[in-house]
């Protein structure tokens, strides 16, 4: 699709997501950035910005992750994963109160007990490659632990 339309925001975004799933988050980042630049008023921009924020988080670029995840939260506040990833980023930054507030919002959106432990999340989030799984362990799950999400 990109060969036919190199300015297709969603084709670039999907390719960026595919790069993540095969363990190449660094390669996916510019594709998602370009997708957001090409389609800043897209009604589904929250889905693009949460993915962009997640890639920044996975690459341990926490301040940038918080910027993009905050944008995602303002455009798509009903997406539970926006709040989950923000909780992780705030946890990694040491802002435990803000991290806890985001976890409370995840629980409110999903219902109590839906995201109850790191073990549950690990079982339900499939990333496609050992590299992507390793990035989740060292960033997302580490931040969620600091945010107060229990291991079991």
Q: pTM for this structure? A: 0.91
Q: Rounded to an integer, what distance in angstroms lies between the CA atom of residue 144 and that of residue 139?
A: 8
pLDDT digit string, tens, across residues 29-72: 999 999 999 999 998 899 999 999 999 999 999 999 999 999 99
Q: Rounded to an integer, what distance in angstroms lies between the CA atom of residue 4 and that of residue 1?
A: 5
For residues 13-42, give the mean pLDDT.
Answer: 91
3-class DSSP assignment, residue 77: coil
Residue 1's pLDDT is 62
**Statement: residue 3 has pLDDT above 80:** no
pLDDT digit string, tens, across residues 117-151: 999 998 887 677 888 889 999 999 999 999 999 99
Tokens of 43: 């009604």
- CB-based contacts of 84: which residues, under 8 Å, 6+ apart? 102, 103, 106, 115, 144
CATH assignment of 45-147, given 1.10.3470, 1.10.405, 1.25.40, 1.25.10? 1.25.40
Q: Which residues of 82-100 are buried (b: 16+ CB within 10 A; e: fewer)?
A: bbbbbbbbbbbbebeebbb
- CB-based contacts of 74: which residues, under 8 Å, 6+ apart? none
Query: Structural domain boundaries of the chain?
Result: 45-147
**Statement: residue 80 has pLDDT above 90:** yes
- The residue written with tokens 């999907």 in the block is 14
Residues 100, 103, 109, 111, Cα dihedral to 10°: -110
- The closest of 3, 4, 48 to 29, measured between CA atoms, is 48
């Amino acid at each position: 699709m990109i060969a036919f339309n190199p300015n297709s925001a969603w084709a670039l975004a999907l390719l960026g997501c595919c790069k993540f799933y095969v363990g190449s988050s660094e390669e996916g980042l510019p594709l998602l950035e370009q997708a957001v630049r090409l389609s800043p008023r897209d009604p589904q921009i929250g889905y693009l910005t949460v993915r962009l924020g997640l890639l920044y988080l996975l690459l341990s670029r926490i301040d940038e992750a918080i910027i993009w995840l905050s944008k995602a939260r303002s455009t798509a506040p009903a997406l539970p994963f926006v709040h989950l990833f923000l909780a992780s980023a705030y946890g990694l930054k040491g802002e435990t109160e803000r991290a806890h507030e985001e976890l409370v919002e995840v629980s409110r959106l999903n219902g109590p007990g839906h995201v109850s432990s790191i073990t549950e999340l690990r079982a339900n989030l499939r990333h496609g490659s050992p590299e992507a799984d390793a990035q989740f362990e060292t960033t997302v799950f580490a931040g969620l632990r600091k945010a107060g999400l229990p291991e079991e």
